[in-house]
Structure 1
Amino acid sequence: MKALIRYIVFFHTVLFALTMAHAEKTVTMGIYQNIPLCFTDSSNQPQGIYIDVLNHIANKEGWRIKYRIDTWNRCLQALDKHEIDLMCGIAVTLERKNRYFFNDENVMLDWGQIYLSVGSSIQSILDLNHKKIATISGGILRTALQDLARAFDVTCNFVLVESANEVFDLIEQNEVDAGTVLRLFGMRFSYQYHVKPSPIVFAPLHLRFATANPQKQNLLNAIDYHLKSLKDTDSSVYYQSINRWLIDSPIHWHLPGWILISTAALLFFLLMTSIILKRKINRRTLELHSQNIKLQQEIDRRIEADKALAFSEKRFSQYIECSPDGVFVSDNNGCFAEVNPSACALTGYSRDELIGMSIFVLVPNDKQDKAKNHFAKVRHKGKSSGVLPYLTKSGTQKFWIISAVKLSNNEFLGFAKDITEIKIAENKLIKSERLLRTIAHNYPHSYVSIIEKDMTVSFSSGQEFQRMKLEPEQFNGKHLSEIFGTQATYIIQQYEKTFLGEEVSFELFFNDQYQLYKTVPMIESDNSIPRILVVVENISQQKKIEQEKAQLERQLLQAQKMEAIGTLAGGIAHDFNNILAIILGNIELCLEESDPMDPIHLSMAEAQTASIRARELIRQILNFSRQTMPDKEPIAIIPIVKESTQLIRASVPSSIKINTNIVDSEDAIIGNPTQINQILLNLCSNAVYAMGEKGTLTIEASREVPDPVPSLINDLEKKPYIKISVIDNGSGIPQDIINKVFDPYFTTKKIGEGSGMGLSMVYSIIQSHNGAITFHSSSDHGTQFNIFLPIIYEKVNTKQDLPEPTLKGSGNILFVDDEEMLVKLGRRMLTQMGYSVTGFHDPVAALSDFESHASDYDLVITDMTMPDISGKNFSKKILAIRPDIPIFLCTGYSDAIDETMAKELGIKQFLLKPLSKRKLAEEVYAVLMR
């Protein structure tokens, strides 16, 4: 029985630890600056031996480690207040054992050492008498040195500091005579200071993890488990970390000066020691007497503790003996090794009969597999629970629920509770429930009532009452006005028609649901109608489906509109890009051939800038219609905000005042300028709509490091962002729809005034930029949207590069485009680059020429969208004739082919119009000249 009690105690301890380990996913640990054990690097990231070990254990245990970085004293204060779960690098002392719980495995062994200024003559503990000594406040080295000095009748004056670096600073500045630091720290950092180690070494320290919260001891158990395993493996994280921070790191060893004179001073030291020891013997005799008294007191205390433990074990034994549940221990084969009286009472066997009996003897044959699977689960996973049938000694089948845990490889602890009566009741309940469901299914989502002529209810029944968690009997005898309140008048009017012989059907929204009422007169033999039958059906789901259908139809219509816009945008893009290609190409040629000082040159440059903006406008149209996916690149955000603000000024009525507070910054984000412009246009458009004909629109932009708070998309972190705010003093967003503003197709505007996609698009863009958004709104102050876009710490060069000379080359090029002006332009550009160009605006004629002179050409440049034959099929036919020739496929826009498809066809380059001359030169040169 004592063995069983120990199993029970161990089980509860393990169960508690498992429960706590499962519940505690976040572990907070305090760290202070103690290189190489624990410290923070230049980026304020925790590092050191303790950090490496704990991160490894956390990964195994599924913990999320949260580090609190502070001084030694403040970390101890946080540990005392349970503000942190763990403290690392804390030495074990008797006094601390009374305050904290420590793990058993040492992470490191260290000891204290006295450091001196370079010219100091201190050589022993006796030389420290009346000296000023720097030491860390709250650290163990001060206490240890104080005890050592007291033993030699030495008085030290301690100067308290917050870190070991401050100790070295004070020694170097001769503000103290000596200082105490840990040996490992001194070995690594003393060379950085004008200090030297002394021969005084003291206080061996066992450095471990500690917690002040008794409920966190399971963390220490897990740490010990993994730490022991790490120490047993030479290649583990533990030894890798030691190699990293101790062996591979720059440790500077010093040969103490005292070694050079130690031999000469040895005789003098021994003489002084014998004199000192003689003085100490008498005093130590008295101390030993005092210690003997204390030892006897400790023995007495432990005797009392043993008696209390024995009493506790006896009382716990009584609990087990009297437990109504069966408790047993089995071996690895499933045979009973120990049982309590309740286990005997449940099975009908005596203790002697059960000991050595297999558990599976008690299991019916048809449940043997289930029982063995249950036992196998305990073997492999450490615990299991479930309901199993069992046979008593008399052969009666009963049921019990068994919970079992693995104590060791050969022992398993189980608890069994008989639930036979519960199972019988459960089976009866199942039968009753089946019958009840059969009856209830006659009235799905409905209930039936009988209404008397005085408009009182005489009978009610049906499935719907159960769904509404109401008892039908509570309505019997009540007047309709008591049940339906103000809606009773309308209902009575409908029922009165039925009392006149008319069957009535009507809908009503009552009790947060849509209901369909159908009435039938209950006609007596004398043709009187003293009462009517009412069937009430819950049609809320049907109404919901109808509303969703209407919503889907609206969304489908909106999607069709967007598709039409996309198709139109694609057509515009193709034609417009061809036009722009001609305009830009000729402008480039004119700029090259004109004098930069000529006013005409300046006008052409401005025309070029306008044309490039037109090209970007086409890309915006394609982005809006979802025809292309916008690229992202490092961009300076503030200039884009300013440009968007100017565009907004031009489109907002003059009655709307616009205020701006945009702080200049060269900070960059990873983003797309067009989409940033879309965000601002959508938010400002909504703000202007909310203000009506008059109001103030404010646009702000600045660099900000916000406090970490939740956001609608990505939670804000404490790091630099560009914050963009759009503020209006309009009517605000009503509270009942404030959670719907980012839903697709949701809009408060009239039909034709908005699609409901604006804020949804804003949400999507910010999400794709890894940004965050917050907003607040009230009817008194209007609405403010705050956009946060993360800075990438990279300045973007916003200055235009000086034009580089056009690359020149040689070779024969076949140039095909259905736009004759583009053919002329392409021939002119490529000829200036040194190439021989044959141009066609008819692809069929071009193909015929290539069939006859395929070997004469080095490169083919073709348009995609052409009459008679598309650029895709044209390229296929060219490659069929000469598979090795490189082809450039150019398009203003096409949804029939993209770059990936082009590469699969064997096309060398897929280029988007309009192309600059420089871009064309680079692509052709790369193929023909390299």
Structure 2
Amino acid sequence: MVASMSAKKTLCLFVVILSLFFHLTYSLAASPLRVGVYCNKPLVFQGEDGSWQGLCVDLLQDIAVREGWELEYVPGSWNQCLQRLEAGEIDLQLAIGWSAERARHFSFSSEPVFVNWGTIYVRPDSSIKSIVDLKNKTVATLENDIHRQVFADLLQRFQITCRLVDVQQYSEVFNLLQKGEVDAGLVNRLYGSINEGHYAVERTAMIINPIKVCYAAPLGQKSVLAAIDSNLARMKKETGSVYYRILDHWLGVAGQVKEVIPPWLKWVFGVTFLFMLFALAANSILKRQVADRTAELKQANDRLQKSQEKLDLALKGADLALWNWTIGADEIMVNDRWYTLLGYEPGEFPLSYEKWEELVHPDDLKQVSQMLLHHLAGELPFYQAEYRLRAKDGSWAWVQDRGQVMEWDEDGKPLRAAGTHQDITRERQEQERQQRLEAQLQQVQKLESLGVLAGGIAHDFNNILTVILGNNDLALNELSPSSTASARIEASSQAVRRAAELAQQMLAYSGKGRFFIADINLNELVTDMGHLLKVSIAKQVVLQYHLGKNLPAISADVSQLRQVVMNLITNASEAIGERSGVLNLTTGVMDASREYLRESYLDENQPAGLYVFMEVSDTGCGMDKETISHIFDPFFTTKFTGRGLGMAAVLGIVRGHHGAIKVYSEPGKGTTFKVLFPAVSREAVAMNHRLEDDVLWRGSGTVLLVDDEETLRALGKEMLEMLGLTVLLAEDGVQALEVYRQHAADIACVILDLTMPHMGGEQAFRELRQLNKDIKVIIASGYSESDIEDKFLGKGLSGFLQKPYQLGDLQAILQSVLPDQA
């Protein structure tokens, strides 16, 4: 009897539970499922017949038939849909992207429909290529769109000022962009792909925020979402299911979609009366479901972590070239920007590690490869390097490469690495330009300081030489030509003249040597020196000429140019040494650009234009970079007997002629010097030789000789008297003024030293001009004539006498200044 009563109670309890189950099921089936819809083709939109269509709509309708749901579509704008979902006024929202922020307000399906992302569109004629180009631009976005939020954060992170214009539909984004009311627009990639052909817009390579597109319900309401997850998991598992047919219908991607989440276990159907009676069986099922759900959550968390890595990489790589290297398979996937950075079409060739090595500059490859290997070995926390990649046109693009290993196997070996390439070509070019300018500035300062030193030495040296040379000259005039002493004095004078040439070379190095400028033809000068050049080189060296035709004239000093040619030829011959070799002397004309001239040894901002050049090349020993950097320094020489002034003089003469010089050399491969001089449009004059007049000119009148060196005063007085002139002496500028005031009516000319104590020549000249504006003054100095011209230009200077001077030089200058004296 007791057993019978217990059985009846159990049966009643089961009937009650079963009644409640069917009641709830009936209530759920009886109440329509309110679904929020908005226009986002091809995910959800309203067709021409007024019905709601799209990928997410078709999937939901198929699931609704299986679950026995009645659907009620509630249309509205995107903002209205979000507001209704949060207020519980709708039960389900279609086509909504998942984010951590939204997950705090809504419940999402665990099984996504697919992955979508945002894309930036511009007008076809736009110059916007990267996110940096959006600075101070206007961009249309969908209000409260998940891509808009990430895009705004990205702009703030990169400190890019950009005005966002919010609209209610994606179609309004394209409309505003087509009308030119905004500079760019942000839509999701599916809407853009389907609708971009209907508007005058162009898709860029800028990708924003990859996200999962899901279904969503009010927060905490997960029963409908659980049924959707179950159906989606089942459909994705079955090849050829309605899921893939719907994707193929709307996107044309059947058979190409990979599962985002592994399939769930099949729900247990046909729950029997036995599972409801026995708690043990129900508890077992519950444990199994909890375990399965835990495994699914772990897999979802792993996928979320990988997605976060990709998202971080996308954010860091906005407008950067992205690379993803599968190390074992040696496959490197890159985005379109990587190809365009090097001038290639996107996907023009597959990329592998071997191909990457071919593109890296040979000088950079070893160092970059070592850094990458150190990172793969775990010795460096990340990989970063700057190097050159060969572009399609053969040029070299500088990139900053950053990356790190993203996946390892169980043994800790790297499986996958990812990173970015940033184009830093302009920055490196600017950096190199600044370094070149700094080096050139240092070189100019060095030349100027050494030039001042060389000029000072030459001045004092010339004073001494003037005394020796002048006394020799006087002695020769007093001796009979047959005297044995004449030969000795002439030998002494010859040595003095060689010493004077050294002084002139020092002045030439400073760029301020004495120039007699004329319009000359370089070929004529080289040809005229042919015999001299031949005897100046070693017998085993062959000199070959390659003279260009129809060269324009250059404005130059013939003697200085001869010195350049001679120094370059002898230097090249000595570089060949005792071996047999070849010297090539080439002339020509070229149109030199500023870029070409900027690469010369000492860029002094020579203007672009037509230049006549002379090139001297040899097959000698060549030079390393260290030697080249000092080749033009005064007193630097690699020869045992050299003085180190020849090449210094070449540089000074070229600078003085506003030219340029280039040096090409490698150890063991010879050397080439190329000097360039500005061409002139005038006709070249025939070269002639200055002839000295053997007849001694004699003048009359009084000359005031002013010099602080007593020996020079005595020598000068004797020379002037030999020329028939009366001489007054003064040892500085102060004394010269006193003498002039006393004898102004008698003095026909003043020979004035430039550098003197108490009052120098420049101040004394001004004071003398105040006493007599027509006074004739000759400046005598060991400094160069160009220095004197700069100081006395336009001030009435009558002439310049270069120290050391001989009697003939003194006669020539006086004869020109005092032409009426006889």
Normalised to the residue count of structure 1, the TM-score between the two structures is 0.40
Which structure has the higher relative contact order (CA within 8 Å, separation 6+)?
2
Normalised to the residue count of structure 2, the TM-score between the two structures is 0.44
| Bigger-Rg structure (1/2) | 2
